[in-house]
A and B are shown apart, each in its own frame.
Chain A
Amino acid sequence: METRELKKLNIYEGCSKQCDACESFFECNAPLKDIFLKRGISAFIRENMKNVKHKVIVFGGKGGVGKSMLAINLASALKKLGKTVCILDQVYDCPAIPLMLGISEDKRLMIGENGMLPVESDHGVKVVSTGLILDPDEVIVWFHDMKKNATEELLAGVDYGDIDYLVVDIPAGTSSETVNALKYIPDVDGGLVITVPSEVSQNVAKRCIYIMRKAKVPVLGVVENMSGAVCAHCGAPVEILQKGAGERMAESEGIPFLGRIPMSRDISVSLDQGNPFVVGHADSDAAKVMMHIGEKVIEAVEAGG
């Protein structure tokens, strides 16, 4: 049988002049795009978020690498450093931030005169999450348009007030939620990429860096999570997921490496209990690394402004 190499799948469509639904938004140079950015929802969002000083997005690309863990601990670290912080949970299919911050199930998102009011955790970090609206057994099946609408609502319809930092948590992948966050959040100060030490994970982590470059958002640095542990029996250091591929990836992409967070039972338990480890285990190595990451973020973001 005669065969030839398959170069592309036959699924691409031409320009429909609908920038809000376009997959190639960041690559496009059509003048239409400027009009889209200046009017309609983008303008509302800009106005609504004008008192949010800095916006930082937590990227991972791959799932389960610790994006939400980083988001809540970074927010708590920034709070400890004297900043006012709000977390925006852009994970719709399974929002975990409220549980990880120990927000009790009866606390719900309320709506006031100027829009939805973020819920405040015991540690003083504000949260906006669809987890504060949904029932625990409610399954979200949203395709692109619904996710986009939800993002627009949460950016234009929330009463953020005067805050120093908005930390945005986005789900795995590089499509809907990632593109929506990069497209609709005005003046993003930068993104952090969190990854795990194995080689195969960098495949996906790298793509986050590429998409940030496409969207012209600065990459603040790479964090390596689940980086080694200590045997509970003999005390020997163990490398569960190989070693150092996160750092090597940061180096080859020319991006600062901000530190590694070890894997430990304490961290896992702290997430289940809703007690961020920078607060609950302030003396642990992981907490020190996280405070360092917080300081680095402040340095990078506020020096530029």
Chain B
Amino acid sequence: MAEETKEVLAINVDYSCDYKCENCERFFDCEDPQKLKVYKRRRMGRAVVKMGKIKHKIAVSGGKGGVGKSMTATNLAAAFALLGNKVTILDQDFDGSSIPKMLGIQGKKKLMLGSNGIIPAEGILGMHVVSLGLLQAADEVITMFHEMRRGTTEEFLANVDYGERDYLIIDLPPGTSSDACNLMQYVPSLDGTVVVTVPPVVSQLAARRATILSARAGVKVLGVIENMSGYICGECGEEFDLMQMGGGEKLAEELGVPFFGRLPLHSELSEASDEGVPFVVKYPDNPASKAMMNVARMLDRVLSEDAPKE
């Protein structure tokens, strides 16, 4: 006898509204005016003040892991710094922070506490870094669930002595839940996100979701970068592809946002990351460095045009 079956339509995990907006999964879908109060009170009011002298704030997101978000954040920041900007990197990846290692300050520099809050560590080109990795022991594992993550995000937004900066580059971990939401909920006047993806079709599943989430949160997608797009052989200098190309460009087209270009794979790139020097600094002639400098110039232009005239 065949068993009678029905389709599973949803997993039975939903809660009803308890007016704890700070903890709500549906914050962006909700139209209750109550939620706006979150911005005005407690630490969030302080974040507005502390971050008041940062001209532009850009989040690097991707949805998927290992697509090169931290690599992009580090090098985009360095590219902005090379163009003469004052830049701070905020590492929102708590479980697996790699920015300190990529900038060569892991285990060497610490976060200090001064009279105006946490003082960011300084890396090359005068870049400032705020990262949980700077507080972590070498063998310490971070297990933080939503509330502690939110607490950490709030601390890093409201209790850091940012000072006067031209750019704040924020590195997000993979996923579309806790960290992505905390950030988009709490960063005052975020200019937008740069979405990093890799060529295969299956990777666009996650990148699409990250952009849909941005749209729901009312955060602009500034553009898409396709990373690991082709490989340049160190022996013969020819380019070939290791993954099917073009997924990033197609995604940008579908979303109607600018496509910032392709970053080819090259052994110099990961070598630079391991050594703790951004590749735009170490190998300025690499095609990926040129592409990244281009992205920075494009963003510089777009954001200064968009800036409100006083």
Query: In the complex where A3-B114, A143-B23, A172-B173 touch, is A207 in contact with B141 (Cβ < 8 A)?
Result: yes
Apart from A178-B143, A200-B273: 5 A-B pairs, beta carbons within 8 A: A13-B147, A94-B176, A172-B66, A179-B145, A207-B95
Q: Are the C-beta atoms of B96 and A4 separated by less than 8 Å?
A: no
Q: Are the C-beta atoms of B13 and A242 separated by less than 8 Å?
A: no
Q: Tell me how many residues of B have a C-beta within 8 Å of chain A.
A: 88
Cβ contacts A231-272/B at 8 Å (1 or 0 each): 111101011111001000000000000000001110011011
CB-nearest residue of chain B relative to A154? B11
B8 touches which one: A21, A110, A245, A265 (CB < 8 A)?
A110
Interchain nearest-CB distance for B303 vs A (Å): 26
Q: Are the C-beta atoms of A242 and B271 separated by less than 8 Å?
A: yes
Query: In the complex where A175-B144, A239-B267, A265-B243 touch, is A6 in contact with B112 (Cβ < 8 A)?
Result: yes
The reply to whether the CB of B174 lies closer than 8 angstroms to some CB of chain A is yes
Query: In the complex where A23-B144, A144-B146 touch, is A210 in contact with B139 (Cβ < 8 A)?
Result: yes
What is the bound-complex CA distance between A150 and B11, given in angstroms?
A: 7
Cβ contacts B1-31/A at 8 Å (1 or 0 each): 0011111111111110000000101101000
Q: Are the C-beta atoms of A174 and B135 separated by less than 8 Å?
A: no
CB-nearest residue of chain B relative to A109? B8
Cβ contacts A1-26/B at 8 Å (1 or 0 each): 11111111111110000000101101
Interchain nearest-CB distance for A189 vs B (Å): 21
Q: Are the C-beta atoms of B66 and A8 separated by less than 8 Å?
A: no
The reply to whether the CB of A122 lies closer than 8 angstroms to some CB of chain B is no
Q: Are the C-beta atoms of A94 and B205 separated by less than 8 Å?
A: yes
The reply to whether the CB of A196 lies closer than 8 angstroms to some CB of chain B is yes
What is the bound-complex CA distance between A269 and B115, given in angstroms?
A: 55
What is the bound-complex CA distance between A100 and B203, given in angstroms?
A: 11
Interchain nearest-CB distance for A37 vs B (Å): 18
Interchain nearest-CB distance for B183 vs A (Å): 12
The reply to whether the CB of A284 lies closer than 8 angstroms to some CB of chain B is no
The reply to whether the CB of A55 lies closer than 8 angstroms to some CB of chain B is no
Q: Are the C-beta atoms of A153 and B205 separated by less than 8 Å?
A: no
Interchain nearest-CB distance for A159 vs B (Å): 9
Which residues of chain A are within 8 angstroms of B25 by Cβ–Cβ distance?
141-143, 146
The reply to whether the CB of B111 lies closer than 8 angstroms to some CB of chain A is yes
Q: Are the C-beta atoms of A272 and B213 separated by less than 8 Å?
A: no
The reply to whether the CB of A80 lies closer than 8 angstroms to some CB of chain B is no
Which residues of chain B are within 8 angstroms of A147 by Cβ–Cβ distance?
177
What is the bound-complex CA distance between A96 and B205, given in angstroms?
A: 8
Q: Are the C-beta atoms of A238 and B152 separated by less than 8 Å?
A: no
Q: Are the C-beta atoms of A110 and B6 separated by less than 8 Å?
A: yes
The reply to whether the CB of A145 lies closer than 8 angstroms to some CB of chain B is yes
- SS of B interface (majority): loop
Q: Are the C-beta atoms of B173 and A173 separated by less than 8 Å?
A: yes
Query: In the complex where A141-B176, A173-B175, A236-B235 touch, is A204 in contact with B96 (Cβ < 8 A)?
Result: yes
Q: Are the C-beta atoms of A233 and B143 separated by less than 8 Å?
A: no
Q: Tell me how many residues of A have a C-beta within 8 Å of chain B.
A: 93
Which 3 A-B pairs have CB atoms at the shortest separation, nearest pair first?
A: A63-B65, A64-B66, A11-B151
Interface-facing stretch out of A81-89, A132-140, A287-295, A297-305: A132-140
The reply to whether the CB of B304 lies closer than 8 angstroms to some CB of chain A is no
The reply to whether the CB of B299 lies closer than 8 angstroms to some CB of chain A is no
CB-nearest residue of chain B relative to A229? B242
The reply to whether the CB of A171 lies closer than 8 angstroms to some CB of chain B is yes
Query: In the complex where A6-B112, A198-B270 touch, is A64 in contact with B145 (Cβ < 8 A)?
Result: no
Q: Are the C-beta atoms of A200 and B98 separated by less than 8 Å?
A: yes
The reply to whether the CB of A47 lies closer than 8 angstroms to some CB of chain B is no
Q: Are the C-beta atoms of B10 and A133 separated by less than 8 Å?
A: yes
Residues of B within 8 A of A (CB): 3-15, 23, 25-26, 28, 63-67, 94-96, 98, 101-102, 110-115, 118-119, 132, 135, 139, 141-149, 151-152, 155, 173-178, 181, 198-202, 205-206, 208-209, 212-213, 216, 231, 233-236, 238, 240-244, 265-267, 270-271, 273-274
Q: Are the C-beta atoms of B234 and A238 separated by less than 8 Å?
A: yes
Interchain nearest-CB distance for A259 vs B (Å): 19
Q: Are the C-beta atoms of B63 and A130 separated by less than 8 Å?
A: no
The reply to whether the CB of A116 lies closer than 8 angstroms to some CB of chain B is yes
The reply to whether the CB of A65 lies closer than 8 angstroms to some CB of chain B is yes
Q: Are the C-beta atoms of B101 and A96 separated by less than 8 Å?
A: no
B7 touches which one: A26, A65, A109 (CB < 8 A)?
A109
The reply to whether the CB of A104 lies closer than 8 angstroms to some CB of chain B is no
Which A residues from 168 to 223 make CB contacts under 8 A with B?
171-176, 178-179, 196, 198-200, 203-204, 206-207, 210-211, 214
What is the bound-complex CA distance between A239 and B152, given in angstroms?
A: 37
A174 touches which one: B141, B148, B216 (CB < 8 A)?
B141
The reply to whether the CB of A93 lies closer than 8 angstroms to some CB of chain B is yes
Q: Are the C-beta atoms of B8 and A116 separated by less than 8 Å?
A: yes
CB-nearest residue of chain A relative to B198? A64
Q: Are the C-beta atoms of B274 and A238 separated by less than 8 Å?
A: no
CB-nearest residue of chain A relative to B142? A174
What is the bound-complex CA distance between A90 and B94, given in angstroms?
A: 20
Q: Are the C-beta atoms of A269 and B244 separated by less than 8 Å?
A: yes
Query: In the complex where A176-B145, A231-B235 touch, is A143 in contact with B177 (Cβ < 8 A)?
Result: yes
Query: In the complex where A9-B135, A10-B155, A200-B98 touch, is A272 in contact with B145 (Cβ < 8 A)?
Result: no
